[in-house]
Structure 1
Amino acid sequence: MALFLLVLVVCLAIFGSMIALLMLSGTPRYRTEPNHLLELFDKALESRVGETEWNAIIGYPIRHDDYLDGIRRRAQRLMDEHGRHARVTRGKPLLDAIGQEELAALRDHLAAHTSLAEGKQNE
């Protein structure tokens, strides 16, 4: 009987601690930062990005920064207007020529904004 109670108490302690651990741990969150978008835009301009990676980052709303979400929505609009769906797997660029130019301008704008914001933080 003592062995049974010992095993029961140990099992309840293990299960209780696991439930407490799961209840107290937070949900993991993905936070898109400007450098993530810059890397994605660079890959897209060099034709090294797949549609899955593009859609995973561009399709996920950015709620912590309205400016970055605006950039994300512009990039999504570029894909809708100038995207070449399913051609990436055949080695073709993700966007057509006009889309590549607009994405390069968007990338340069984001890089300038990011460097300006980092300069203000360093002051």
Structure 2
Amino acid sequence: MALFLTVFAVCMLIFGGMVIILLLSHTPRYRTEPEHLLTLFDKALENRVGETEWNALIGYPIRHDEYLESVRRRARHLMDEHGRHGRVARGKPLLDTEGQEELSALRDHLAAHTQLKRKREQE
């Protein structure tokens, strides 16, 4: 009977410890910054991005910055209009020529906006 109580106490201690750890841990948060989008756009323009990476970043809503959310939605719209699923697997760019031109303009606009925002913060 003593062995049973010892094993039961050890199991309850382990179980209780795991419950406490789970209760005290927080959900990890991912915060998309302008640099993440700029890097993704650069890779897409250089034909070095895969659909999985594109969809992982562009498919994740940005709630902390309305401007970045609008850029993300515009990039998703570009993919819907000018991208074809499976193009990268066939060795083609993610977007067609017109889509790459629009993505380049969107990338330049985001870079200029980010630089202006940082300059204002430094003043």
Give me the TM-score of the superposition, normalised by structure 2.
Answer: 0.90
Structure 1 unaligned residues grouped into runs of 5+ = none
Q: Distance in 2 between matches of 1:54 and 1:102?
A: 16
Q: Distance in 1 between matches of 2:109 and 2:33?
A: 15
**1:79-98 maps to which residues of 2 (within 5 A)?**
79-98=79-98
Q: Distance in 1 between matches of 2:117 and 2:6?
A: 60
Give me the TM-score of the superposition, normalised by structure 1.
Answer: 0.90
In the TM superposition, residue 120 of structure 1 has moved relative to its aligned partner by 2.3
Q: Which residue of 2 aligns with 1:69?
A: 69
Aligned length: 123
Q: Which residue of 1 aligns with 2:17?
A: 17
Q: Which residue of 2 aligns with 1:26?
A: 26
Q: Which residue of 2 aligns with 1:102?
A: 102
- Per-residue CA shift, 1:50-71, capped at 9, x if unaligned? 1111111111111111111100
Aligned alpha-carbon RMSD (Å): 1.5
Q: 4+ residue stretches of structure 1 with deviation over 6 A?
A: none
Q: Distance in 1 between matches of 2:119 and 2:18?
A: 45
SS of residue paired to 2:95 = coil
Structure 2 unaligned residues grouped into runs of 5+ = none
The answer to whether the Cα contact below 8 Å between 1:82 and 1:99 also exists between their aligned partners in 2 is: yes
Q: Which residue of 2 aligns with 1:38?
A: 38
- Per-residue CA shift, 1:9-47, capped at 9, x if unaligned? 332222111101101211122221111111100000000
